[in-house]
């Protein structure tokens, strides 16, 4: 679960994991999150059991880049803080705070990129400061270069 949160394991694609009702139990997708709710859901399940993913695509769909970016552009600070509050609840799954902070950095970097591309340098700088404070490893330098 920790590796998944940090981005060391590829994201779960729609339909690529089957989980029993017993495993899922009361775990649900967080309601009202602007982004990354799937990561929160899958991390909770991964903290309970090992999951196997199907390697072949099960479903292919197109994502609108503009719509995707808009999620990060609208009310960025409030949405990030709401998401981070939900992310931090994963400590009850024994996911280390360092992994959660690494995820915060990855999401903050995505938000910064959107604001930079749209010319909002002030907001981009604020989120870059959050991303800069996140734990990093040399092997993750490519994320910053993209």
pTM of the model: 0.84
Task: Tell me whether residue 99 is exposed, middle or buried, using C-beta atoms within 10 angstroms of its C-beta: 0 to 12, 13 to 18, 19 or more.
Answer: buried
In tens, the pLDDT along 50-79 reads 887 787 777 777 888 899 899 999 999 999
**8 Å CB contact between 2 and 99:** yes
Residues 42, 78: Cα–Cα separation, whole Å? 23
For residue 113, pLDDT over 70 is answered with: yes
Averaged over 12-19, what is the pLDDT? 76
- Of residues 99 and 140, which shows the higher confidence score? 99
Domain membership of residue 40 as a residue range: 2-145
For residue 141, pLDDT over 60 is answered with: no
In tens, the pLDDT along 81-101 reads 999 999 999 999 999 999 999
For residue 122, pLDDT over 70 is answered with: yes
For residue 13, pLDDT over 80 is answered with: no
- How many folded domains does the chain comprise? 1
Q: What percentage of the chain has pLDDT greater than the value 70?
A: 91
Confidence of residue 9 (pLDDT cuts 50, 70, 90): confident
Residues 37, 99: Cα–Cα separation, whole Å? 16
**8 Å CB contact between 76 and 115:** yes
- Of residues 54 and 136, which shows the higher confidence score? 54
In tens, the pLDDT along 22-58 reads 888 899 888 889 999 989 999 999 999 888 778 777 7
CA atoms within 13 A on the CB side of 130: 23
What stretch of H or E contains 33? none
């Amino acid at each position: 679960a920790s590796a998944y949160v940090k981005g060391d394991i590829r994201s779960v694609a729609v339909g690529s994991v089957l989980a029993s009702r017993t495993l899922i139990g009361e775990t649900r997708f967080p309601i009202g999150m602007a982004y990354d709710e799937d990561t929160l859901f899958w991390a909770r399940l991964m903290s309970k059991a090992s999951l196997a993913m199907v390697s072949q695509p099960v479903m292919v769909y197109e994502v609108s880049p503009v719509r995707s970016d808009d999620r990060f552009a609208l009310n960025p600070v409030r949405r990030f803080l709401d998401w981070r509050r939900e992310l931090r609840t994963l400590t009850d799954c024994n996911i280390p705070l360092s992994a959660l902070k690494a995820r915060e950095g990855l999401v903050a970097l995505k938000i910064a990129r959107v604001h930079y591309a749209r010319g909002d340098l002030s907001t981009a700088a604020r989120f870059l400061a959050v991303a800069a404070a996140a734990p990093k490893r040399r092997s993750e330098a490519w994320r910053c270069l993209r």
